[in-house]
Amino acid sequence: MAPPLIQLKDIRLTFGGTPLLSGVELNVAPGERVCLIGRNGSGKSTLLKIAAGLVEPDSGTRFVQPGATVRYLPQEPDFGEHKTTLAYVESGLAPGDDHHQARYLLEQLGLTGDENPHDLSGGEARRAALACVLAPSPDILLLDEPTNHLDLSTIEWLEQELDSRRSALVLISHDRRFLTNLSRSTAWLDRGRIKQIDRGFASFETWRDEVLAEEERDQHKLDRKIVDEEHWLRHGVSGRRKRNVKRLANLHALRAQRRNYRGTSGSANLAAAEAEQSGKLVIEAKGISKAYGERKIVENFSTRIQRGDRLGIIGPNGAGKTTLVNLLTGGLQPDSGTVRLGANLEMATLDQHRESLDPKSTLAEALTGGRGDHVMVGGKPKHVVGYMKDFLFAQEQRGTPLEVLSGGERGRLMLARALAKPSNLLVLDEPTNDLDLDTLDVLEEMLGDYEGTVILISHDRDFLDRVVTSVIAPEGNGKWIEYAGGYSDMLSQRGADLKRETAKAQPVAEKKEERTVAPVSAPKRKLSFNEKHALETLPKKMETLQADIAKLQRVLDDPNLYAKDRQKFDDTSAAIAKAHEELSAAEERWLELEMLREEIEQA
């Protein structure tokens, strides 16, 4: 067997209280594909940072084969002082590496190399970070949630790219399909220790259940043995003194073993607060269209959504998924066509953007709106600590600032806020981001039990297959088609030749058609100074407006405001309506300018 490229031995780390890592062992051989599995907060990301040499453990050793190159993909990349994405990617190259690989990977990932890294969206930042770690073709790739914020076509491209490489991989991901397709061994980080099998993720859940069942049997045997020994202590302490002393010491050891046992953590208790039943018809759209300038986002789309349907919407980033949802739910008016909403609709929304939360506020304040110790769940008060425990937060985290929460914890917080509102229509935009596999299972069960209707935007293929009853996918030039079944059913209906439609294929095809029609002698369009300035400043303006809306909403969330101060209620309502109008106008203007910039660059 080949010697390991990287070896962690007896790694121990404690951040106060219970040890995070207790004697962890991990070996990665050349070409090995390891998926690192564990609950949120179990220490997966910390262990990966230790393997990358970025975090020093309390004790233990880290060994890397001399001459082996290691590259680490964090969940949140640090772009430092780099002015362009190309400069950032090239910074990861070693002397002698092929610099053409940097630009090639950026192009494959839909970036030009000229972007300012600090202005990138979440998906663009993830693609730039992937290019940075892939460009040197390292011996070991340590990837922490590489599929977060990526669309389906990019995830599939990444799968093929990683599968074709000879690098050893250690993967942390919530994407079951991604892990199944790439992993060949599984390392399960559970209660501070690692258990490992030489089988990929497809075998993990069956193996885990067997391990936990055997552990439960062992604990039951231990409990019975302690009971027997305690009975002897009460009734049978006679005979030889030396033997009795030894047996008493053994009883103390058994008790200590039982006391130090760290049982498995409980499961999240996700439940949506359900409103009264909606009408049988939830949404009916007939021939709706929406365009921004020359770009068609939705063209002549019709659908009928009935109570209990689970609708999945997929497509590349920028294809218009959120716009389509806003059209269907009445948040945006179509240019043509009609949308009819059913009777008695109560909608709860989970937005993928979490920046509206004040990072300095505490977990309890985010759940209660800063009002007292209770959360209104389905119109009824529930103590905030009890509600926190439903979503796997410890009582000690009540005063934790949001800025120190992990990605998974922020995801659970947003779910907790969304599910507290009574609803019969759930609109979930990327709900699986950052959630661990156990929480995904509970979320899946909750959606299965939910009596209302679900509209789901997701890039998680396995989750779509498990949850939705139909899928809407873009076909290009504003056309959207609805397919019965989940993601795999959609692929089989579309045909294998359409499986790998990329995010950039559609816009490029459209631009070619436009250039063919345009006169050859037409002068090349350039962005004016005002247009350039607007492109640079509008994102900050939109962030400010979103923060203002969140602040005003917290004021309106006070159920007694109308009775206490009618004038303040009216002023705040008017202000939030105006802010929403300004935000909508800013978003539309930014999108128009962004489309114009892309057209100019493609010309």
DSSP H helical segments within 342-501, as ranges? 363-368, 384-390, 407-420, 437-449, 461-467, 487-494
Which amino acid is it at 307?
R
What's the average model confidence in pLDDT over 355-369? 79
Task: Give the model's confidence band at 513: pLDDT under 50 very low, under 70 low, under 90 confident, else very high.
Answer: very low
Has residue 498 got a pLDDT over 70?
no
Any idea of the CA torsion for 140, 145, 150, 153, to the nearest 10 degrees? 60
Higher pLDDT, 261 or 339: 339
What does the alpha-carbon distance between residue 445 and residue 268 come to, in Å, rounded to a whole number? Answer: 11
In whole angstroms, give the CA distance from residue 160 to residue 134: 13
Q: What is the DSSP string of 150-191?
A: --HHHHHHHHHHHHH---EEEEE-S-HHHHHHH-SEEEEEET
184 annotated ligand binder: no
The four Cα atoms 188, 194, 197, 202 give a dihedral, to 10 degrees, of: 0
Q: Give the DSSP H/E element, type plus range, for residue 282.
A: strand 281-292
CA separation (Å) from 334 to 327, 328, 330, 507?
6, 9, 9, 21
pLDDT band at 412 (very low <50, low <70, confident <90, very high): confident
pLDDT at 489: 87
Task: For residue 52, give both structure tokens.
Answer: 């990358």
More confident residue, 213 or 289: 289
For residue 501, the model assigns a pLDDT of 41
Rounded Cα gap, residues 412 and 402, in angstroms:
12
pLDDT in tens, 100-145: 999 999 999 999 999 999 888 888 999 999 999 999 999 999 999 9
Chain-centroid distance of CA 491 in Å reads 23
CATH number of 529-602: 1.10.287.380
* Residue in the block written with tokens 């294998």: 496
| Amino acid at the residue 146 | P
pLDDT in the model for residue 497: 36
**What is residue 416's predicted lDDT score, i.e. its pLDDT?**
83
Is 44 a known ligand-binding residue?
A: yes
Q: What is the CA radius of gyration of the chain?
A: 27
- 16 marked ligand binding residue: no
Average pLDDT, stretch 490-505? Answer: 55
Tell me whether residue 112 is annotated as binding: no
Residue 43 clears pLDDT 70, i.e. is over it:
yes
Instruction: Give the three-class secondary structure for 233.
Output: helix
524 labelled as ligand-binding?
A: no
The structure's pTM equals 0.68
Lowest mean pLDDT among 102-106, 213-217, 275-279: 213-217
Do residues 131 and 105 lie in contact, with contact meaning Cβ atoms separated by under 8 Å?
yes
User: What integer is the mean pLDDT of 230-243?
Assistant: 54
Ramachandran angles phi, psi of 173, nearest 5° = -160, 150
Read off the pLDDT of each residue in 365-384 and give the average, rounded to a whole number. 81
**Mean pLDDT (whole number) for 182-194:** 91
Enumerate the β-bridge partners of residue 71: 141
- DSSP assigned state of 291: E
Tokens 């779509």 correspond to 464
What's the pLDDT score for residue 89? 94
Residue 403 is predicted with a pLDDT of 79
- Token duo for residue 591: 């999108």
Q: Which amino acid is at 239?
A: G
The per-residue pLDDT for 433 is: 77
pLDDT tops 50 at residue 521: no
pLDDT tens column, 414-433: 888 888 888 899 998 888 87
Mean pLDDT for the stretch of residues 183-205: 91
Place of tokens 């998906």: 123
Q: Higher confidence at residue 399 or residue 29? A: 29
Q: Is 40 annotated as a binding residue?
A: yes
- Best CATH choice for the domain 6-203 from the list 3.60.10.10, 3.40.50.300, 3.90.800.10, 3.40.50.970: 3.40.50.300
Q: Is 19 annotated as a binding residue?
A: no
C-alpha to C-alpha distance for 396 and 183, rounded to whole angstroms: 36
The three-point CA angle 129-181-495 to 5° equals 100
Contact 518, 511 (CB under 8 A): no
320 annotated to bind ligand: yes
Which of 258-272, 371-385, 525-539, 586-600 comes out lowest in average pLDDT?
258-272
The 3-class SS string of 180-230 reads HHHCCEEEEEECCEEEEECCCHHHHHHHHHHHHHHHHHHHHHHHHHHHHHH
CB atoms within 10 A of CB 217: 10
Cα separation, 330 vs 311, whole angstroms: 16
Q: How much of the chain exceeds pLDDT 70, in percent? A: 84
How many Cβ atoms are within 10 Å of 253's Cβ, its own excluded? 10
- pLDDT score for 494: 79
Tell me the mean pLDDT in the region 229-234.
62
pLDDT (0 to 100) of residue 191: 83
Q: Check the annotation: does 540 bind a ligand.
A: no
Dig out the tokens for 415 from the structure.
Answer: 């779910």
Q: Are the beta carbons of 42 and 50 closer than 8 angstroms? A: no
Measure CA 123 to chain center. Answer: 11
Distance of CA 217 to the CA centre of its chain: 35
Dihedrals φ, ψ of 185, to 5°? -145, 160
Cα 416 from Cα 424, distance rounded (Å): 16
Architecture of domain 281-502: 3-Layer(aba) Sandwich (3.40)
Mean pLDDT of the chain: 82
Dist CA 336 CA 287 (whole Å) = 7
pLDDT (mean) for 518-542: 64
Closest CA to 133 of 163, 182, 174, 94: 94
**pLDDT score at 594:** 75
Is 316 annotated to bind ligand?
A: yes
pLDDT at 122: 82
Task: For 243-256, write each residue's pLDDT tens digit.
Answer: 456 656 665 666 66
Q: Is 41 annotated as a binding residue?
A: yes
For residue 419, give the nearest of 452, 382, 378 by alpha carbon. 378
Where is average pLDDT lowest: 27-36, 242-251, 268-277, 431-440?
A: 242-251
- Asked if the model's pLDDT at residue 354 lies above 60, the reply is no
Q: Which two tokens stand for residue 217?
A: 């049997």
Distance, first Cα to last Cα, the chain:
55
Percent of the residues in the chain that have a pLDDT greater than 90, as a whole number: 36
The Cα–Cα gap between 555 and 484 comes to 43
Q: Tens of pLDDT along 554-579?
A: 888 777 777 788 888 878 888 888 88
Q: Which residues are paired to 472 by β-bridges?
A: 313, 482
Smallest CA-to-CA distance from 153 within 473, 492, 592 is with 473
Q: Which of 208-217, 242-251, 310-319, 384-393 has the lowest mean pLDDT?
A: 242-251
The mean per-residue pLDDT over the stretch 214-228 comes to 73
- 260 annotated to bind ligand: no
Tell me how far CA of residue 336 lies from CA of 314, 324, 484, in angstroms. 23, 13, 26
Comparing 300 with 396, the larger pLDDT belongs to 300
Q: How far apart are CA 161 and CA 173, in angstroms?
A: 17
- Res. 241: pLDDT tops 70: no
Q: So what's the pLDDT on residue 401? A: 85
- Residue 560: CB partners within 8 Å, gap ≥ 6? none
317 known ligand binder:
yes
Q: Cα separation of 136 and 130, whole Å? A: 11
